[in-house]
């Protein structure tokens, strides 16, 4: 009997736990359904509008920050603008000399940096070629893009050139007499010679 009561008590406990689990699952599914209904189309539209406004504001702030940074860098590199309207001729000359010196030094720096960049690019290409040789891989060179109509145009130009060449040839006059006419003339001359001889 004690075994039967223990089994019944155990079964009742299991049933109670199952009921609790079912209840929790039903509540969770109801909560999910309730959440799905929370985002109505109108609320979604409002949310999109708010997000767009926020993004536009952030973009505007970013642009203003970049413009301020640009102005700061220009001021730092070029210095503040000078009042040229009240300056005398000597002051203007000194300002021009200072600017010329600055431009001259910057051009020299630019040339040096460009040269260094070219040298490094060449070194990178050489190292890449060496790595590819070591791996046994060979890079295919990039092919030029060629127009498929290019050959047709070249042929047409060649034909046009030949045509022009034919037109520029000298015109050679044909013989005035054909062979038959020459023979008739010869016979006439022979006959005239014979007639003279007979006389």
Structural domain contains residue 151: no
Structural domain contains residue 147: no
Distance CA 192, CA 16 (A): 154
Structural domain contains residue 103: yes
Structural domain contains residue 43: no
Count of the separate structural domains present in the chain: 1
Please compute the mean of the pLDDT values over residues 37-42 and round it to a whole number: 75
Q: Which of 15-24, 110-119, 173-182 has the highest mean pLDDT?
A: 110-119
Phi, psi of 83 (to 5 degrees): -80, 105
Structural domain contains residue 110: yes
Q: What share of the chain is helix, strand, coil (3-state, %, to 5)?
A: 80, 0, 20
Spell out the residues 6+ positions from residue 177 whose beta carbon is closer than 8 angstroms to its own: 185
Which residue in this structure is represented by tokens 């047709």?
Answer: 152
Structural domain contains residue 60: no
Distance CA 34, CA 40 (A): 11
Phi, psi of 32 (to 5 degrees): -65, -45
Query: Largest Cα–Cα distance of the chain, in whole Å?
Result: 181
Alpha helices in 79-140 (DSSP H): 89-135
Q: What's the count of helices (H) and strands (E) in the chain, helices before strands?
A: 5, 0
Q: What is the pLDDT of residues 143-170, one digit of tens each?
A: 777 666 666 777 777 777 666 655 666 6
Distance CA 168, CA 159 (A): 14
Tokens for 187? Answer: 């016979």
Structural domain contains residue 12: no
- CB 177, CB 185: distance < 8 Å: yes
Average of per-residue pLDDT values in the chain: 81
Please compute the mean of the pLDDT values over residues 55-67 and round it to a whole number: 95
Percent of the chain with pLDDT over 70: 78
Phi-psi region of 145 (alpha: psi -120 to 50; beta: other; left: phi over 0): beta
Angle formed at CA 179 by CA 178 and CA 181, multiple of 5 degrees:
70
pLDDT greater at residue 41 or residue 111: 111
| Domain coverage including residue 127 | 84-138
Tell me if the pTM is above 0.75: no
- Predicted confidence band of residue 41 (pLDDT cuts 50, 70, 90): confident
Please compute the mean of the pLDDT values over residues 24-33 and round it to a whole number: 80
Structural domain contains residue 72: no
């Amino acid at each position: 009997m004690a075994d039967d009561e223990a089994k019944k008590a155990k079964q009742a406990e299991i049933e109670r736990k199952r009921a609790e689990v079912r209840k929790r699952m039903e509540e969770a599914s109801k909560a999910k359904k309730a959440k799905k209904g929370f985002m109505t189309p109108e609320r979604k539209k409002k949310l999109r509008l708010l997000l767009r406004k926020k993004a536009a504001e952030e973009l505007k702030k970013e642009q203003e920050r970049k413009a301020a940074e640009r102005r700061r860098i220009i001021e730092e590199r070029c210095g503040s603008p000078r009042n040229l309207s009240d300056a005398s001729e000597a002051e203007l000359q000194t300002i021009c000399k200072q600017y010329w010196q600055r431009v001259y030094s910057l051009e020299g720096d630019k040339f040096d940096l460009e040269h260094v960049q070219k040298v490094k690019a060449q070194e990178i290409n050489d190292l890449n070629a060496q790595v590819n040789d070591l791996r046994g891989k060979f890079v295919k060179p990039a092919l030029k893009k060629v127009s498929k109509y290019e050959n047709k145009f070249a042929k047409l130009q060649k034909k046009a050139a030949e045509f022009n060449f034919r037109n520029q040839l000298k015109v050679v006059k044909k013989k005035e007499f054909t062979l038959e006419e020459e023979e008739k003339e010869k016979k006439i001359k022979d006959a005239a010679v014979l007639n003279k001889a007979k006389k």
